[in-house]
Each structure stands twice: as structure tokens, then as C-alpha cells.
Structure 1
Amino acid sequence: MAVSSAATSDARPTWRPHLVDTARALAVLATTLVGRSADDTLRLALPSTWIQCLVFVTAAFVLVARRLPLVALGATAVLDALPFWLDIGGAGYHLALMIAVYVVVAHEPSRQARRAFGLVLVLQVVLMAWDMGWRWNSMFVVLAALSVTFPAALGLAARSRSEATEALRQRAVAAERSRDADARQLLAEDRLRTARDLHDSVAHQIAVMNLNAGVASRSLRERPDDAELALVTVREAGRAVISSISDLLTSLREASWHDVVPRHDLADLRVLVDEFGTLLPGLSVSYDDAAPDPTQAVDPVLYAVVREALTNAYKHGRHEAAVDVRVRLGRRSSCVRVTNASLDRSPTITEGFGLRGMRERVVEAGGRLSATTDGDHFTLEAEVPGSGEGP
């Protein structure tokens, strides 16, 4: 919208060129028909013969010079040559030729304008030299050359100014379009980031609520203690959902969620694994370091990958089967690998919002993510650079 409004504001009134053309034609007529009488007063001398009426034809060509510049230049050049043989007065005809030269140089393509100007210049010099008895050094020959060179110079200046103005306008339009494209790109990135944050912070907790609600319903009669524990987990997950939504909305309103980077360590990762321990009895976690420091930092991207992988392992895997989580933290790179038994034996992997969001996060962090399937085993591996504080 900004581009169209800028283009509209630069548009000139459509009546202005017609007014200028009319003024030029009237100037041609006035130069020929208006003169001074014996008592030094201005008088209008109307044509007395049909040949003198050619001045009106000349004025007509001036009117159409903007639309037919080369035609107008050729016609006015011929009409300007007639006073050398006919007694019809030459000032108005020559003014028309000067106007046509200006229009051609200002508006026609450069090559055509140069050729047309060259022909008119040669014609004027030759005619004036012939009229002066072939005295090429006559002042009138020089004036004839200058009389067509001067409007050509003005036309060239107008052409340069018009081209510079158009170039500036095009750059302004391009800059406006670029700003609009950048704004749309930023908006798309913000929507994508918001969708990922919403999925990571809310979808996981809702999945936990759903899973524990199922455990509670199955254990309510035979194992009431397990049902009570599951309901407590549902309540805590509900509180976490409310808190996550509140934090997300606050960040969106304050436009600061880009700057909020969650901090996680190995202790947080252990808490996350323990949350899924009751749902996935075969869940185990191992570290490359035999005695890892619980306060060692874990990249938030890798933490999100483990959380999403364990959620998918419960939703799409066999609960009683083994789920292996392997963690490697290092200065140059950090890696997590989650393997679980899948209910789907299809050799192809369909990426949902969770897997797609994980891949986008890992790629943005400069890492790589791979999801592979081997029979009924699904393996998710993510590696990011420069995470952790290990060796």
C-alpha cells in the first residue's frame, strides 16, 4: 500500500502537459502575427494570403510535438526553410523548430535524438550559408547553429533531470517494497517462533496431563495410590500450562520473548527424565562423562529435543519397551540421542509439528537433526555447536 501511495503522490497533473503545449503553440502564433505598427503600438496582422496561413499548420505541429516528436521536428524543419524562398516571415517558424528540437532531445531515445539533431543542425547551417552567399564564417551562420544547439542543450538537461528523478523514484519504490518484504518476513518468523514456543511450553504439559489422566482412570480401583499420584501430576501440569501461557502472553505484549533464553542444567534434564519414568518403565539415561556435574549447563535446544522425543516415545511407542537417552556435552559440540520402540513399522517418517519444530530450532542453532527408523526402532539425534562446558 505504501508503494502505491508513493507512486500516486509523485504523479503530475494530467492537464499540465496540455497547458504547456498550448502555450508553446500560442507563442509561435504570436511571434508571427503580432507586431508593432507605425505609431509603435502592438497590432495583430492576420494572414492575407493562403501561404501565410502555414503558420497555423506550424502551431498545430507544435501542439502534437509531445506525442509525435520526430514528425513535428521534420515538419517544422521544412516549414522553417520556406521563408528562405517565400515572403511569409520566419520568426514563428524558427521558434517552432526550436521547440521541436527541445522536445525530441528531451523525450526521444538518445540515438534517434542525436541523429535528428545532427540533420537539423546541418540543414540550418547549409541554408544560412547559402543565403549569405556561402560565407561560412558569417555571424548569421553561427547564430543559426546556436539557435538549434541551445534548445538541444536545454532538452538534454531536462532529459538528465527526468532520468535522475525517475531513478530516485524507482529506488524509493524498490526500498519501500524491500521494507514491506522484510516486514512480512519478520512477521512470518515471529508467527513461526510463537507457534514453536506455544508447542514447546504448552503442548508438552497438555500431553502429560492427558497421559496421567489415562493412568489415573485405569488405576483408580485397583491402585488408588497410583491414581492419586497421576492426578497430582495432572494438577501440576495444569498449573504449568497456565504459567507457560501467562509467560508467553507477557513476553508477546512486551515484545521481549526474543531475549528470554531458558536456562537448563543436567539436574533439570534429570527431573524431566524422572517425570516420564512412571510412564515409560524402560526409560534410561546415560552420559559420556562417568560422573557428570548436575550444575553443568545443557543447551536449551537439546533440552527441548529430549522433552519432545520422550513425549513422542509415549504417544507413538511401546510403553514397556526400552527407551534410551544418551547425552554428550562438550565445548565444541553437544549431542543427544533418543532411541525407542515404535508402534509404526513404516520405513517412512511423517513429520508432525513437534518434529518439524525441533528441526527448525536445531538448524537455527547451527546444528543438525536426524530422525531414522530401523524396523520398529525410532532414533532421534540432535547435535548443536558450542554447547555445554564439558571437555
Structure 2
Amino acid sequence: MPRALSRDAAIDLLLAATVAAVTVGGTAVIAWSSTPGRLPDWAGYLILVGMSALLVARRTAPALTMVAVLAGSLFYQVFNLPGGAFTIPPAVALFSAVSAGRRIVSVAAMVAWTLATFLLGGLWGRAPDVQGTVWLATWMAVILVGGEVTRARRERLRAEREEAAQAERAREEEARRRVTEERLRIARELHDVLAHSISVINLQAGVSEHLIDRDPQQARAALGAIRQASKEVLVELRSMLGVLRAVDDDGRPLAPAPGMDRLHELVERARDARLEVSVTLPEERPELPGGVDLAVYRIVQESLTNVIRHAGASRAHVTIGITDRDVLVEVADDGAGVPAGAPLREGNGLVGMRERVMAIGGEFTAGPAEGKGFRVQARLPARSAAA
């Protein structure tokens, strides 16, 4: 099955047919009032058709097509055939070569063709007069200018398309980056919420299992703590998983992200897990940017979670300090800490805290405390996130 012509090939084929029809038709009209040439008229028409047919290659080989058409027009003039319309194919070929960027070869070919046309006209006693010379020079200048304008416009359109394509690629890349960042943020939030609450639930479940026979009242209290912790984690998960919606199922606004105003909940939950927690807060608590306020909450949450799960500590102290420029967060415990000489291995909790702090332009350190235990410290910008 033959392949369909491309759009450009179809246009070039139509152009060649149109030029051939106009050139042959015009020459036939001129031949009625002209003296016969040295070849029959039908031979001249064949030459004109051949010149026009060469134009189908004007895109793929513009310079070669131009030279071939100009040579064909000179061959036509050698036999003193009726003149005038035979200049149409050369004009189209020159225009195509200039618009394709072949400026130097086009100008050189045009000058050579013009001089040869004058010489052949003189040979047959048909040298152009002043008016004809001016017309031919103007015709050539129009061809050059028109071809150059077309080339410049084509280059501009190509550049605009490339810029648009680059901008689109940049937008897609930015969209992918934002999606990745959002996935990391959600993963970090889920880790912080689940790790803390499930650690408390696990510890309280162990307590209730151990005391269910010996101290039912204490076991009942542990089960109550499990119920409360599971309820809170479900509420937070529901709020987080509804981040793509503006309201919940009942049409009420979702609860705001947790912040420093909910630190007491973390402390109470940790105390329920048999960890003695003390807190030092600033006397005045200015309103913090949402990202910083959430980061303070998550750092304390994850730090207490690590103390409960890994430190084997009995006490922990949370210190929050706020200056004009920074928010200082410190969580220290009296647990086992890191053995002397052993490298610090950062798990998902420490890595998540570090990434959260770095994301808002802060500083994060974690390591053995002086004497005994482990310390987490973070310095968060109090203003940058609010800008």
C-alpha cells in the first residue's frame, strides 16, 4: 500500500504543478505575438515543465534545485524561445533557497543568472532596455528580501516553539518535583503520627497484659490509654488523608495541623507510657508560621517516641525557646544513649526530623547527652517560613 504524501510534499507538488501551468499558459499567450524560436513551441513547453517539476525538491535540496532551475532557464534562452514567463520558476527557486538560509550561493547564482540573461538577450537582439533592467533588478531584490523575511519568520517561530517546549518540560519537571516532595512530606507525617501512637499503644498493651491478673485497675487504666491513643491517631490520620479535600464528610472544616498548643497531649501520652516528662516553655509564645509550629510538634513527638521505644529511659525533658529569629527545640533523656565509641545510627525517625528541619532552613543535631542519655536539638527559623 503506497505511503501517503506528507503535508510539505503535497504542498511542493501542488506548487510545481501551479508554476508549470502558469508558466506554460503565459508563454503560450506571449508566443502568439512573438517570432518563433529555434525550437518548436512544444519543445519549449517541455523545458518549462521540466524546470517547474524540479521545484518539488526545493525543501530537501534548495541550493541544488535553484542551480538546476536557473540552468534550465538559460538553456531555454539559448534557443531564443518566447520570453517573459520563463522567469517564474527561477524566481520561485531563488526565493526557496534564500528562505532556506542559502544566502551566499543564492546571491552568487542570481548575479550569474542575471548577467547570462543579459548576454543571451544581446546575442538574439533582445537585450533589456533601461526599463527592463530596472524591472529585473527590482524583481530580484523583492525575491531576496521576501526570502530573507520568510527565513527570519520561520526561525523566530521555530525558536518560539522550542522555548514553549522547554517551558512545558520545565513545568512538567516542576510538577513531578512537587509531587515527589508532597509524597515525602506525607510519608514523614504518617511516620511521625503512627510511630508515636503505636509505640504508646504497644507499651500500654504490654503493661495491661502484665497486670491483667495482679492489678486489674491498673490494667484497665492502660487499656484506657490505648483507647485514647488509638482514637487520636485515627483523628490525625483522617485529617491527613483528607488533605486533598477542603472539608470532611459532614461539611465541617478539617482540624488544623497540630502545633505547640498540643504539646501537652504528647506529654500526657508519654506519661501514660511510664515516662516522666518535664517541659520548659517560653513565658511569651508569639504566633509562629504554620510550618515551624508543626515542625516543633513533630520533633517533640518523634523524640519522645524514640525515648519510649529505644532509650530505656525513666525521665525526659523538653525545652522550647523562642527568640526574635529562632525557635530552639531540645529533647533530652536519661536513657542508655549511644555506647562509647559506637557510631550513631540514624533510623527513619532521626532522618525524618533532619529532613523536616532542613526543609524549612533550620539546623538539626542529635547525639549522646553529657553524662548519660541522648539529646535532640533543632534550631528553626522563626521568620523565614512566615515570609
TM-score w.r.t. the length of structure 1 is 0.77
Superposition deviation, residue 286 in structure 1 = 5.6
Residues 1:91 and 1:331: Cα distance change in structure 2 (over 3 Å):
same
Which of residues 205, 212, 226 is equivalent to 1:220?
212
Which of residues 165, 190, 194 is equivalent to 1:173?
165
Instruction: Report the residue type matching 2:69 in the other structure.
Output: T
Which residue matches 1:3? none
Instruction: Report the residue type matching 1:102 in the other structure.
Output: F
Residues 1:237 and 1:149: Cα distance change in structure 2 (over 3 Å):
same
Superposition deviation, residue 96 in structure 1 = 1.3
Superposed CA deviations along residues 332-364 of structure 1, whole A, max 9, x for unmatched, are: 222122234357644042331x33332232223
Which residue matches 1:230? 222
Supply the distance in 2 between the matched residues of 1:204 and 1:247 (Cα, whole angstroms): 17
Contact 1:347 1:373 in 2 (8 A): no
Which residue matches 1:252? 244
Tell me the SS of whatever aligns to 2:377. Answer: strand
Q: Which runs of 5+ in 1 are unaligned?
A: 1-10, 39-45
Supply the distance in 2 between the matched residues of 1:258 and 1:113 (Cα, whole angstroms): 68
Contact 2:24 2:48 in 1 (8 A): yes
Supply the distance in 2 between the matched residues of 1:130 and 1:13 (Cα, whole angstroms): 36
**Once structures 1 and 2 are overlaid, which stretch shifts more, 341-350 or 96-105?**
341-350
Supply the distance in 1 between the matched residues of 2:215 and 2:104 (Cα, whole angstroms): 100
Same amino acid, percent of matched pairs: 26
Superposition deviation, residue 141 in structure 1 = 2.3
Superposition deviation, residue 305 in structure 1 = 0.5
Superposed CA deviations along residues 173-215 of structure 1, whole A, max 9, x for unmatched, are: 2333233233323322332333233333344222221221111
Pairing 1:124–2:109 present? no
Which residue matches 2:63? 70
Supply the distance in 1 between the matched residues of 2:59 and 2:284 (Cα, whole angstroms): 83
How large is the RMSD of aligned CA atoms in angstroms? Answer: 3.7
Pairing 1:31–2:21 present? no
Tell me the SS of whatever aligns to 1:254. Answer: coil
Supply the distance in 2 between the matched residues of 1:83 and 1:50 (Cα, whole angstroms): 9
Q: How many aligned residue pairs are there?
A: 359
Which residue matches 1:186? 178
Which residue matches 1:22? 17
Contact 1:76 1:96 in 2 (8 A): yes
Supply the distance in 2 between the matched residues of 1:250 and 1:259 (Cα, whole angstroms): 10
Tell me the SS of whatever aligns to 1:100. Answer: helix
Supply the distance in 1 between the matched residues of 2:324 and 2:42 (Cα, whole angstroms): 102
Supply the distance in 2 between the matched residues of 1:258 and 1:153 (Cα, whole angstroms): 67
Tell me the SS of whatever aligns to 1:149. Answer: helix
Supply the distance in 2 between the matched residues of 1:218 and 1:106 (Cα, whole angstroms): 90
Supply the distance in 2 between the matched residues of 1:331 and 1:67 (Cα, whole angstroms): 69
Which residue matches 2:153? 161
Tell me the SS of whatever aligns to 1:252. Answer: coil
Residues 1:85 and 1:313: Cα distance change in structure 2 (over 3 Å):
same
Instruction: Report the residue type matching 2:298 in the other structure.
Output: A
Which residue matches 1:310? 304
Which residue matches 2:3? none
Supply the distance in 2 between the matched residues of 1:259 and 1:116 (Cα, whole angstroms): 74
Instruction: Report the residue type matching 1:312 in the other structure.
Output: N
Instruction: Report the residue type matching 1:357 in the other structure.
Output: G
Supply the distance in 2 between the matched residues of 1:119 and 1:370 (Cα, whole angstroms): 76
Which of residues 310, 314, 319 is equivalent to 1:326?
319
**Once structures 1 and 2 are overlaid, which stretch shifts more, 363-372 or 114-123?**
114-123
Pairing 1:139–2:131 present? yes
Superposition deviation, residue 312 in structure 1 = 1.0
Supply the distance in 1 between the matched residues of 2:128 and 2:9 (Cα, whole angstroms): 45
Residues 1:234 and 1:151: Cα distance change in structure 2 (over 3 Å):
same
Which of residues 352, 355, 372 is equivalent to 1:357?
352
Supply the distance in 1 between the matched residues of 2:67 and 2:9 (Cα, whole angstroms): 27
Q: Which runs of 5+ in 2 are unaligned?
A: 1-5, 34-38
Contact 1:202 1:244 in 2 (8 A): no
Which residue matches 1:4? none
Which residue matches 1:8? none
Contact 1:305 1:358 in 2 (8 A): yes
